[in-house]
Amino acid sequence: MAANLKEVRERIRSVNNTQQITKAMKVVSAAKLRKAQQAIVQMRPYADKQNEMLRNILSNLDGDASSAFGVNRVVKSACVVVVTSNRGLCGAFNTNVIKEAVKTIESKYADVRAAGNLSLLLIGKKGNEYFKKRYADCHIISDHVNLFGELTFGRVTAISKSLMDQFLEGKYDAVDVAYGRFKNAAMQFPQCEAWLPVPKIEVEEGSKKMKADYIFEPNQAELLEHLVPSILQTSFFKFNLDTQASEHGARMTAMDKASENADELLRELRISYNKARQESITRELSEIVGGAAALESA
C-alpha cells in the first residue's frame, strides 16, 4: 500500500509540473496572439478589397490592355505553397492545413505530379517534415522553412516576387497556397486558394456581366504593370499573417484544454490518494486494536 501511495504522489507531482508548463504556454501564446491578431485584422479588409478589385479589373479589361498574371494556361507544371507553423502543441492546426494541401495535390494536380512537374514550397517546419517524407517525387523547396522566425513584409515579398517571376517565365503555370485562415482564438479554417493566375470573377450563365467602374490614370497598361504585382504581394503576405495568428490561437486553445484536463486528472488522483491513505490508516488501526486485544486476552 505504501508503494501505491508513493506512485500516486509521484503522478500528482508530475501532472502538477505539466500543468505549470501548459499554463505558461497559454499565457505566452495569448500575448503573441494579441499582436498577431491585430496585424491580420488590420490587414485583411485592405487585402480582401484589393484582391476583389484586382479580379474585377482583370475580368473586365478593355482593348489590348492585359496582365500576364491573369492569363490562364494549360497547367503542365505547378507549385503548391504550404504554410504551417514551426512548432507543435497547437492541436490539429498543422494537420488540417496539410490535409487541405494534400487534397489539392491528389485531386487538382494529380496529373502534374505524375508527370514529375509539381513543386512544393514549404514555409514552416511541420509541413516540411511531413512532405519531405511522403512526397519525395515532388520538387521540395525548403529555403523558407524558418520564415516565421522573423515575419516581415520584406522577407515575404522576396518569396512572392520569386514565384511571380517564375510564373512569368513559364516555370509554373499555376500557384496555389495552403494556409490557416484565422477567425478567432477558437476557430481557424484550413484553406487552399489559387494565387496565380488571378482567378476571374465567375459570371452565372444568363446573367448580365457587370462592367468594372474604374477610371485609369495615366492608362490601363501602365497602371496594371505596377498595381497587379503590388496587390499579389499583399495577398501573399496576408496568407502568412493569417497562419501566424491561427497558430497562436490554436496553441492557446490547446494549452487551455490541457490545463483543464490536468485539473480533472489531479482531482481524480487526489481522490484515489485519499482513499488509499484512509485504507492504510484503517488497516493500521485495526492491527493496533487487534494486537492490544491479543495482549489483554493473554
For the stretch 173-214, pLDDT in tens is 999 999 999 998 889 999 999 999 988 665 444 455 555 566
Q: Which domain range does residue 154 map to?
A: 23-199+211-254
Residue-wise pLDDT for 90-118, tens only, equals 999 999 999 999 999 999 999 999 999 99
**Domain total of the chain:** 1
**Is 262 inside any structural domain?**
no
**Is 285 inside any structural domain?**
no
User: Cβ(83)–Cβ(127) under 8 Å?
Assistant: yes
Q: Which of 180, 7, 184 is nearest to 85 (CA)?
A: 180
How far is Cα 25 from Cα 34, in angstroms, rounded to an integer? 14
- Name the residue with higher pLDDT: 261 or 185: 261
pLDDT at residue 52, rounded to an integer: 81
Residue-wise pLDDT for 62-87, tens only, equals 544 457 888 889 999 999 999 999 99
**Is 37 inside any structural domain?**
yes
Catalytically annotated residues: 90
How far is Cα 95 from Cα 163, in angstroms, rounded to an integer? 25
**Is 86 inside any structural domain?**
yes
> Rounded to two decimals, what is the model's pTM?
0.84
Q: Which of 104, 61, 80, 64 is nearest to 201 (CA)?
A: 61
**Is 190 inside any structural domain?**
yes
**Is 12 inside any structural domain?**
no
- Name the residue with higher pLDDT: 38 or 220: 38
Q: Which three three-digit cell numbers place residue 162?
A: 520569386
What is the domain-level CATH number for residue 144? 3.40.1380.10
**Is 161 inside any structural domain?**
yes
**Is 237 inside any structural domain?**
yes
